[in-house]
Amino acid sequence: MKRPQVVETVSDLRTVVREWRRQGLSVAMVPTMGALHDGHVSLTRIALERADRCVVSIFVNPTQFAPTEDLDKYPRQLAADLDRLAEAGVQLAFTPTAAEMYPHGFDAKVAIGGPSAGLETDFRPTFFEGVATVVAKLFLQTLPDCAVFGEKDYQQLCVVKKLCRDLDIPIEIIGAPTVRDADGLAMSSRNAYLSPTELAVARQLNKILRHAARSLQSGASEQETLEKARQKILAAGFGAVDYVEARESDTLAPWQRDRDGRILVAARLGATRLIDNVEIVGI
C-alpha cells in the first residue's frame, strides 16, 4: 500500500493539482479534521468512484471551535491517518499548519444564512462561520471538481451546499450516507472520548430517532413524538438534549408533513456532545 503524497503548503498543493489537470485527470476532495475512521474512508471511496484523483485535507480548524470546546484535546494521529488513506488508495493529503491557513492579518469570515440558522448555531454560535470560511478556503486552494461530505453532519452538508450555490463555486457537493456500527452508532472521531458505559448509552440514540421517524411517518403528532424522543434519550442515560427537531431535508426549514425531512439531534453524554440525524419520508 502506497502512502499518499503529503503537502503542507497551498503552493505545493496547487503544483500537484495543476499537474493532474495537465494530464486531463478529474479531482475530488474530502475535507477532514483527521482522526480518520470508517466513515471518512467511505467518503474517500465515493470520491474515487467520482474522480481520478482524491485529495484529503487534514486540518483541525481552530476557527470552528469555541474557547470552551475540545480544540486542544481533539484527537490528532497523522501517521495512522496516512495509513488509512493508503488503504483507501488516496493520492494526496493536504496537512496545512494553522499559520498556512490563517497567516498573520487574516480576517475574512464567510457567513451563510439559511440552513445555518438554529440547531447547532443555537449552541455553537460561531461554528458554521468557521466551517464555511475554512471550506471556502480549502475549495479555492484545491479547486476540485467535486467534494464529498458525510450526512452525519447534516446541517454542515446543507451549509456547504448553500455556500457553493450562493457564491457560484463550481464544485459538486456529494452527500454520503452515515456509516454506523452494528448497533447503529454513527462513526465519529469524538466516539473515542466515550467510556464503555457511555458507548452503550450512545448506541441507543439512533434507535430512538428511527422509532420517532417511523411514528411521524405514520401520522403521529410532531410535538408529542419529539418530546417522547427527548425523554427517551434522557432515560437512556444522556445528561442533556440540546435539540431534537424535525426539519425539511433541503432547506432545514421547519418540517412539513408532505415533504421529506430529517430528525436532527444533539445530546450530551458526560463531556462529549454527539449529533445524529435520520430521514423522515414525507407522507
Q: What amino acid positions are annotated as catalytic residues?
A: 40
Name the phi and psi angles at 27, rounded to 5: -130, 130
Are 4 and 56 within 8 A, CB to CB? yes
Binding residue for ligand PAF, selected from 16, 36, 47, 134, defined by CB under 6 A: 134
Which span sits near ligand PAF by CB under 6 A: 26-34, 78-86, 109-117, 223-231? Answer: 26-34
State in angstroms the smallest separation of the CB of 272 from ligand PAF: 16
Nearer to ligand PAF, 232 or 262 (CB): 262
Taking CB under 6 A as the rule, does residue 33 contact ligand PAF?
yes
State in angstroms the smallest separation of the CB of 165 from ligand PAF: 17
Taking CB under 6 A as the rule, does residue 61 contact ligand PAF?
yes
Taking CB under 6 A as the rule, does residue 36 contact ligand PAF?
no
Are 282 and 259 within 8 A, CB to CB? yes
Taking CB under 6 A as the rule, does residue 48 contact ligand PAF?
no
Nearer to ligand PAF, 44 or 225 (CB): 44
Q: What residues make contact with ligand PAF under the rule CB under 6 A?
A: 31-33, 61, 64, 131, 134-135, 153, 156
